[in-house]
Amino acid sequence: MTVENSAVSGETFGQTDDILRAEHISKRYGAVTALVDVNLRLGRGEVLGLIGDNGAGKSTLLKTICGFQPPTTGRILLNGEEVHFSSVTQARAAGIDIVYQDLALVNQLTVYQNMFLNRELVRWPLLRNRSMRKRAKEQLDSIGISTLKSVDVEVASLSGGQRQAIAVARSVFSDAKVLLLDEPLAAMGVKEGAAILDLVRDLKDQGISIIIIAHNYGQVFPVCDRVNLLQGGKITFDKYSKDTSVEELTNIVVSEYRKALEERHRRTAAS
Ligand SMILES: Nc1ncnc2c1ncn2[C@@H]1O[C@H](COP(=O)(O)OP(=O)(O)O)[C@@H](O)[C@H]1O
Ligand SMILES: [Mg+2]
């Protein structure tokens, strides 16, 4: 089946068995309009790559899905049912978990304390520190990020890549059915990045549905089943990976960049 640019034709949007749908989402921050009538869908067990320039609205879109902030208009459907999350905790309980771009780890806590933040293991009235420590170590080892010396160090002392790995590991072991990853590779070296991409593949094999935002789309393209491009708060491109290529995406991004440059030249010439 060939699918044309279905953000325009709506072809893939006709699917009915999606795990997640965001329909007619718009988001305004005062005078700033971050999202305009966005329709986004995520199939069951699908990995969707969400790409676009800085300020395109990618993070805003994920934040409206995960309960961090409500959309100004539009609705979210999970398993075909409309949901209204008033917090990230509520969304998490429903099976949607997010790794933010701006990570949300607590610097003053240790690695294992962060891994079990808000879901501490307790044998009332005591925290089961030893179990949490052991499990945190096993979980981090199992995802192949073993550059950490100890799970007892404070997160503040770690590199950006290590912090990112912990944030990803935390949501991976949260029993989420839908995982939203906002630039999980941003601060990572090549090896750490590859480990995270392997992890995405494993999660997909376990049936977890994933949206992954990536600035470096060439890097994530191989793990994506489908790609959406967000430009100026609108989805302008929606294709299955098999029907597009890194070259096609590059051409679109480069022409967007050229247009912005020309626009700037025109403005400086006029002034
Ligand atoms: N909390 C906020 N208050 C005001 N404006 C915001 C806020 N968050 C994002 N924006 C604006 O919304 C637009 C989209 O931002 P964002 O979703 O972070 O883009 P991206 O993740 O694609 O880089 C930008 O113009 C940004 O400045
Ligand atoms: Mg962002």
Q: For each of the chain's 271 residues, which pLDDT tens digit applies?
A: 334 444 444 455 666 689 999 999 999 999 999 999 999 999 999 999 999 988 999 999 999 999 999 999 999 999 999 999 999 989 999 999 998 876 667 888 888 988 888 778 888 888 889 999 998 888 888 776 656 788 898 988 888 778 888 888 888 777 899 999 998 887 777 877 888 888 899 889 989 999 999 888 888 999 999 999 999 999 999 999 999 999 999 999 888 889 888 988 999 888 7
CB of 136 closer than 6 angstroms to any ligand 1 atom: no
CA distance 28 to 41: 21
What pLDDT is stored for residue 194 in this prediction? 85
- CB-ligand 1 contact for 58 (6 Å cutoff): yes
Q: Which two tokens stand for residue 100?
A: 């933010």
DSSP letters spanning 223-259:
G-SEEEEEETTEEEEEEEGGG--HHHHHHHHHHHHHH
Q: Which residues are in the CB-under-5-Å shell of ion ligand 2? A: 58-59, 101
| Backbone phi, psi, residue 235, to 5° | -85, 120
Interhelix angle 129-142/160-172, nearest 10 degrees: 100
Nearest CA to ligand 1 atom 16: 57
- Atom 24 of ligand 1, residue of closest alpha carbon: 55
Q: What pLDDT does 9 receive?
A: 42
Closest ligand 1 atom to 101 CA: 21
Scan for tokens 């089961």, then name that residue. Answer: 128
Is the CB–ligand 1 distance for residue 57 below 6 Å?
Answer: yes
pLDDT score recorded for residue 8? 44
| 60 CA: nearest ligand 1 atom | 17
Query: Is 125 buried (19+), middle (13-18) or exposed (0-12) by CB count in 10 A?
Result: exposed
Fold of the 11-104+176-270 domain: Rossmann fold (3.40.50)
* Ligand 1 atom with minimal separation from the 183 CA: 21
For ligand 1, the distance from its centroid to the CA atom of residue 230, given in whole angstroms, is 13
Decide: 167 and 103 in contact? Cβ < 8 Å: yes
What is the CA(150)–ligand 2 centre distance, in A? 30
Question: What is the predicted pLDDT for the residue at 41?
Answer: 97
The pTM score is 0.87
- In short, whether 49's Cβ falls inside 6 Å of ligand 1 is no
Atom of ligand 1 at shortest range from CA of 230: 22
Q: What is the pLDDT of residue 257?
A: 85
Distance 102 CA to ligand 1 centre (A): 12
Q: Does the beta carbon of 71 sit less than 6 angstroms from any atom of ligand 1?
A: no
- Angstrom distance (rounded) from CA 132 to CA 113: 8
Neighbouring C-beta atoms of residue 176, cutoff 10 Å: 20
> What is the per-residue pLDDT for 103?
64
CA distance 117 to 101: 18
Res 213: pLDDT: 95
Predicted pLDDT of residue 172 = 79
Residue ranges per structural domain of the chain: 11-104+176-270
Other beta carbons within 10 Å of 217 = 20
